[in-house]
Structure 1
């Protein structure tokens, strides 16, 4: 996801830089003025790319369950898997998960 964001930022910076540099051409080497149509096409393409990236990012965020629910005091907060302990939920502020009883206290 970070690489997509970096590519989008880079392309936006390059497009802004090229549009600013077009106004800085020297008078002794005049080039024909470019129509605004390619700039509009670039803007539309970038907008489509951003919309596509946002829609795919939303799907990947739904698949990931990175938010751990909260547990009340006395509820089971972990589960033992052999030598490892897996977290089921996060205890409320002021409470902690007891690793022997596997409950919030």
Structure 2
């Protein structure tokens, strides 16, 4: 039992000593701030301009459309048709607003 107390006391003492010594670091040993140092020889403005040029080039080449993503389903109002029946299956046309649900019999938002 005495050895457990000694181990706990040593762990607490070492953690307190470590936390106190963290504040005693010299200025020479600290890492310079990112704002003062150039990253890869470029300033942040140059990096931002390069990124903007890359994004503009990507948009013109690929032609991304936010509206036509497969995972985004348009919203429908209350009373609008929200689904279509294909034989035994029901296909979703749009997602009903919050607080409403698509009625599987009438296939409309209520």
Instruction: Provide the TM-score with structure 2 as the length reference.
Output: 0.43
More helix by share: 1
Where relative contact order (Cα < 8 A, 6+ residues apart) is larger, the structure is 1
Instruction: Provide the TM-score with structure 1 as the length reference.
Output: 0.44
**Of the two, which has the highest radius of gyration?**
2
